[in-house]
């Protein structure tokens, strides 16, 4: 079981293996399909079972290969064991909790407890697995430094802490969003001051991650706000501790946590960024603390009820985001009180997917660098004017209303779904009822009814002059190719239907171009 649970789902080798199995199942199925014709497989049940297996196996493998491609684009699920846990959690759900938030006494750690050994990944990030002395959480932490970073370079560095969504991890999310490239470009262009980016893992157990320290669960809030910042300041001694130069941001579920955390910890974070976040928590054990708890921890409510202290918030979400991120941005903008501020960035399309986040990481950085509070906090040259005049800053789309329209032919459109269903039904009917009869020729000694039928068909073809000059091996090959094409059409269309249905249910992609982009990313 451990071997089955350790299959890497982000490996190109796994993808290739599944793709090869899919091709082999199609090739074998096209041959076996002829053998499941009525005269060759007596007994209707056995015949139908055989055809079902011939259709289901390649459909499953093709759908799995496609899922692996998209999974690789953001590294959402690392192993087959993680996938099994995720599937179990989606069925069973989380258990009710009545204890509310835990009171964790986060004390200053000894110097030795803050030591961490970082190694460089293949993608150029720094990685360590470290135990937080206050939270007790042991998880990976990834750090992206500018290409010319040195602890002794005489610069003071700002810090951005990025929180991944669920499912997912910091490395896959930051790689998929091309955070490292965006960081270096922004620094090189003078859009932001010297900055490092930190991505702590929130996958502290087998449950959907929380933002708060929930009684009976790992202390995630303490991990993110106390342990990780202390470790970063210790191991990267030229980073600042000034709140104006510390920002926390996140993607999807991590976006909600980022804003929630910043509002709860203004002494650490002076800015926060939400990429496709939501107003009320919808995942983890925070959802099991009662309606009043959820109401009190709704972001727009927290903004309206807090004493403003100059907190800066960037809220980006596509207008067609099915999760409601755009409405969240507008709610926060309506609730905020000066000197706090919320900058809304609501492009009309983009869904709830990686390509949108990749596109807006440079925008988030430009927004952050557009305030001199950041550069002053690290003693750097002002970046405000450069950031404000940058192309990334100009791409911000502030709106006051959101019109959520679904194009019928989009990947989340119901016309697309209807057309796929029709295509699947037609191709399945063809493959199930007709294609098995496109068989190999019988030998002269065959005398069953099917052979007689073929004999009569041969004579009809000869009378009409059809295929008289085609050699028997060629006819056999043509029959096989016809069955292969029919089986391929049926299984590929069925796999596409599964993918589109999952996309509609999850509200991820809203354009074919973003699907194509993620697909190409997953093949790299």
Q: Please give the full DSSP string across 316-369, using - where no structure is assigned.
A: E--TT-TT-HHHHHHHHHHH--TT-EEEEE--S--TTSHHHHHHHHHHHHHHHH
Q: Give the position of tokens 């060759």.
A: 40
What's the confidence (pLDDT) of residue 462?
Answer: 47
Could you tell me if residue 223 is inside a domain?
yes
Instruction: Tell me how far apart the alpha carbons of residues 403 and 66 are, in angstroms, rounded to a whole number.
Output: 31
Does residue 501 lie in a domain region? yes
Give Cα separations from 230 to 63, 113, 131, 237, 379 (angstroms): 44, 10, 12, 10, 21
Q: What is the pTM of this model?
A: 0.90
- The order of strands in the sheet holding 312-316 is 119-120, 126-131, 138-144, 195-200, 158-163, 246-251, 271-275, 312-316, 341-345
Q: Domain for residue 102, yes or no?
A: no
Please check whether residues 376 and 261 belong to one and the same domain: yes
Is there a single domain that holds both residue 383 and residue 467? no
Characterize the bridge pairing of strands 195-200 and 138-144: antiparallel
Same domain, 30 and 128: no
Q: Are 258 and 163 in contact (CB under 8 A)?
A: yes
CA distance 152 to 149: 9
My answer on whether 321 and 421 are in the same domain is: no
87 touches 5 (CB < 8 A)? no
For the packed helices 414-429 and 472-506, what is the interaxial angle rounded to 10 degrees?
A: 150
Using alpha carbons only, give the angle 62, 64, 68 rounded to the nearest 5 degrees: 120
Gap between the Cα atoms of 269 and 262, Å rounded: 6
Question: Residue 451 has what pLDDT?
Answer: 46
User: pLDDT 10s per residue in the chain (524 long)?
Assistant: 467 778 999 999 999 999 999 999 999 999 998 877 655 556 667 778 889 999 999 999 999 999 999 999 988 999 888 888 888 877 666 655 556 888 887 778 788 999 999 999 998 999 999 999 999 999 999 999 999 999 999 999 999 999 999 999 999 999 999 999 999 999 999 999 999 999 999 999 888 889 999 998 999 999 999 999 999 999 999 999 999 999 999 999 999 999 999 999 999 999 999 999 999 999 899 999 999 999 999 999 999 999 999 999 999 999 999 888 999 999 999 999 999 999 999 999 999 999 999 999 999 999 999 999 999 999 999 999 999 999 999 999 998 888 777 889 999 999 999 999 999 999 999 999 889 888 654 444 444 444 445 544 554 444 444 555 667 778 788 889 999 999 999 999 999 999 999 999 989 999 999 999 999 999 98
Domain containing residue 130: 118-394
- Of 363, 394, 425, the position where a domain reaches its end is 394
Q: What is the pLDDT of residue 98?
A: 54
Q: What is the DSSP string of 245-277?
A: GEEEEEETHHHHHHHHHHHH-TTT-SEEEEES-
Cα gap 442→444, rounded to integer Å: 6
Asked if the structure places residue 334 within a domain, the reply is yes
One domain, residues 417 and 448: yes
d(CA 429, CA 420): 14
At 169 the pLDDT is: 94
Question: Is the domain of 351 the same as that of 440?
Answer: no
d(CA 246, CA 144): 15
Q: Where is the domain boundary, 346, 366, 394?
A: 394
Residues in the chain: 524
Q: How many CB atoms lie within 10 A of CB 62?
A: 26
Give the span between the Cα atoms of 391 and 107, in whole angstroms: 44
Q: Mention every residue, 6+ apart, whose C-beta is less than 8 A from residue 197.
A: 143, 144, 159, 160, 161, 162, 174, 179, 180, 183
Residue at 214 is within a domain: yes
| pLDDT computed for residue 438 by the predictor | 82
Residues 466 and 378 in one domain: no
Q: What is the pLDDT of residue 319?
A: 93
Closest by CA position to 58, among listed 26, 32, 34: 26
Same domain, 45 and 157: no
Helix (H) or strand (E) holding 449: helix 449-464
C-alpha angle 478-484-485 in degrees, rounded to nearest 5: 90
Cα distance between residue 254 and residue 177, in whole Å: 14
Is 158 among the domain residues? yes
Can you tell me the distance from the alpha carbon of 472 to that of 497, in angstroms, rounded to the nearest whole number?
38
Q: How far apart are CA 352 and CA 345, in angstroms?
A: 14
CATH of the domain at 122: 3.40.50.1820
| 212 and 358 assigned to the same domain | yes
Considering the domain architecture, whether residues 275 and 343 belong to the same structural domain is answered as yes
* pLDDT of res. 456: 47
Domain boundary, last residue among 366, 394, 422: 394
Give the ranges where 7-79 is alpha helix by DSSP (H): 12-35, 44-74
Q: What is the pLDDT of residue 449?
A: 44
Whether the Cβ atoms of residue 494 and residue 59 lie closer than 8 Å to each other: yes
Let me know whether 235 and 295 are in one domain: yes
In a 3-state reduction of DSSP, which class is residue 163?
Answer: strand
Collapsing DSSP states into helix, strand and coil, what is residue 473?
Answer: helix
Q: How many CA atoms lie within 13 A of 89 on its CB side?
A: 17
- Residue 441 inside a domain? The answer is yes
Number of domains into which the chain is organized: 2
Residue 198, both tokens? 């930190």
Q: Is residue 401 one of the residues assigned to a domain?
A: no
The burial of 315, by beta-carbon neighbours within 10 Å (0-12 exposed, 13-18 middle, 19 or more buried), is given as buried
User: How far lies 284's CA from each of 93, 213, 412, in Å?
Assistant: 9, 12, 26
Reduced to 3 states (helix: H, G, I; strand: E, B; else coil), residue 196 is strand
DSSP class of 93: -
Radius of gyration of the chain (CA): 29
Same domain, 154 and 267: yes
């Amino acid at each position: 079981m451990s071997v089955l649970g350790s299959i890497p789902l982000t490996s190109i080798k796994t993808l290739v293996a599944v793709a090869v199995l899919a091709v082999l199942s199609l090739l074998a199925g096209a041959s076996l399909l002829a053998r499941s014709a009525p005269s060759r497989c007596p007994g209707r049940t056995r015949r139908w079972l055989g055809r079902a297996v011939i259709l289901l196996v390649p459909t499953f493998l093709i759908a799995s290969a496609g899922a692996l491609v998209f999974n690789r684009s953001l590294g959402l699920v690392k192993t087959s064991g993680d996938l099994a846990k995720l599937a179990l959690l989606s069925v069973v759900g989380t258990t009710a909790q009545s204890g509310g938030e835990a009171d964790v006494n986060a004390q200053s750690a000894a110097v030795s407890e803050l030591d961490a050994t970082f190694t460089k990944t293949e993608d150029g990030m720094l990685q360590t697995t470290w135990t937080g002395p206050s939270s007790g959480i042991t998880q990976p932490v990834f750090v992206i430094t500018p290409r010319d970073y040195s602890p002794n370079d005489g610069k003071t560095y700002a810090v951005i802490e990025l929180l991944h969504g669920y499912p997912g991890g910091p490395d896959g999310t930051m790689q998929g969003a091309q955070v490292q490239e965006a960081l270096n470009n922004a620094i090189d262009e003078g859009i932001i001051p010297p900055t490092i980016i930190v991505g702590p893992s929130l996958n502290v157990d087998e449950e959907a991650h929380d933002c708060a320290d929930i009684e009976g669960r790992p202390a995630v809030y303490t991990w993110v706000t106390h342990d990780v910042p202390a470790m970063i300041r210790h191991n990267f001694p030229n980073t600042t501790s000034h709140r104006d130069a510390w920002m926390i941001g996140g993607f999807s579920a991590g976006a909600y946590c980022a804003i929630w955390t910043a509002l709860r910890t203004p002494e650490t974070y002076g800015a926060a960024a939400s990429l496709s976040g939501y107003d009320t928590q919808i995942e983890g054990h925070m959802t099991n603390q009662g309606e009043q708890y959820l109401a009190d921890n709704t972001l727009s409510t927290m903004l309206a009820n807090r004493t403003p202290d100059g907190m800066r918030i960037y809220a980006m979400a596509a207008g067609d985001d099915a999760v409601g991120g755009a409405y969240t941005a507008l709610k926060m903008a309506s609730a905020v009180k000066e000197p706090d501020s919320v900058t809304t960035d609501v492009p009309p399309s983009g869904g709830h997917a990686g390509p949108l986040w990749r596109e807006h990481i440079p925008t988030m950085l430009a927004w952050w660098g557009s305030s001199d509070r950041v550069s002053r906090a690290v003693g750097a040259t002002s970046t405000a004017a450069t950031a404000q005049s940058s192309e990334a800053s100009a791409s911000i789309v502030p709106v006051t209303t959101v019109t959520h329209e679904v194009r019928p032919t989009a990947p989340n459109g119901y016309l697309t779904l209807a057309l796929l269903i029709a295509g699947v039904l037609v191709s399945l009917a063809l493959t199930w009822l007709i294609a098995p009869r496109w068989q190999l020729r019988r030998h002269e000694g065959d005398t069953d009814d099917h052979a007689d039928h073929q004999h009569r068909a041969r004579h009809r073809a000869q009378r009409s002059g059809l295929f008289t000059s085609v050699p028997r091996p060629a006819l056999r090959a043509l029959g096989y190719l016809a069955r292969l094409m029919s089986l391929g059409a049926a299984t590929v269309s069925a796999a596409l239907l599964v993918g589109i249905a999952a996309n509609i249910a999850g509200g991820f992609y809203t354009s074919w171009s973003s699907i194509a982009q993620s697909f190409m990313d997953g093949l790299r």
